[in-house]
Amino acid sequence: MSKTKKTRIRIAQPWITEHEIQYVNDAVKNGWGNHSSDYIKKLEKEFSSLHKTQYAVATSSCTGATHMALKAMGIGSGDEVILPEITWASCPSAVIYTGAKPVFVDVKENTWCIDPKKILEAITPKTKVIMPVHVYGNVCEMDEIMKIADRFDLKVIEDAAEALGSEYKDQKVGSIGDCGVFSFHGTKMATSGEGGIFITNNKKLFDDFNILHDQGRIPEEEKFFYPHKLGYKYKISNLQAAIACAQIERLEELVNKKNQIFYWYKNLLQDINFIDMNHQQEYVKNSYWMPTIVFDKSVNINRDDLMKYLDKKGIDSRPFFYPLSSLPMFKKVKKNNISYSLSNRGIYLPSAFYLSKEDINYIVEAIKEYLFDKPLRV
**With contact defined as beta carbons under 8 Å apart, do 233 and 217 qualify?**
no
pLDDT, residue 221, reads 86
pLDDT, residue 223, reads 87
318 by Cβ neighbours in 10 Å (0-12 / 13-18 / 19+) ranks as: middle
| 2 pLDDT above the threshold of 50 | no
For residue 378, name the pLDDT band (cuts at 50, 70, 90). Answer: very low
pLDDT, residue 222, reads 86
pLDDT, residue 376, reads 45
pLDDT, residue 115, reads 98
pLDDT, residue 6, reads 67
**With contact defined as beta carbons under 8 Å apart, do 119 and 272 qualify?**
no
Segment 315-338 shows an average pLDDT of 97
Is 334 known to be catalytic? no
pLDDT, residue 177, reads 98
Percent of the chain with pLDDT over 90: 94
Q: Choosing from 108, 172, 188, 258, which is the catalytic residue?
A: 188
| 231 pLDDT above the threshold of 70 | yes
Write down the pTM of the prediction: 0.95
| 260 pLDDT above the threshold of 60 | yes
Segment 212-224 shows an average pLDDT of 91
For residue 1, name the pLDDT band (cuts at 50, 70, 90). Answer: very low
> pLDDT tens digits, residue range 155-171?
999 999 999 999 999 99
Segment 305-324 shows an average pLDDT of 97
Q: What is the mean pLDDT of the chain?
A: 96
- CA gyration radius, the chain: 21
| 375 pLDDT above the threshold of 70 | no
Domains and CATH numbers, the chain: 18-249 (3.40.640.10), 251-372 (3.90.1150.10)
> pLDDT tens digits, residue range 335-359?
999 999 999 999 999 999 999 999 9
DSSP lists the bridge partners of residue 359 as none
Contacts of 338 (CB under 8 A, 6+ apart): 106, 107, 108, 109, 115
Contacts of 151 (CB under 8 A, 6+ apart): none
> pLDDT tens digits, residue range 44-96?
999 999 999 999 999 999 999 999 999 999 999 999 999 999 999 999 999 99
For residue 101, name the pLDDT band (cuts at 50, 70, 90). Answer: very high
As a residue count, the chain comes to: 378
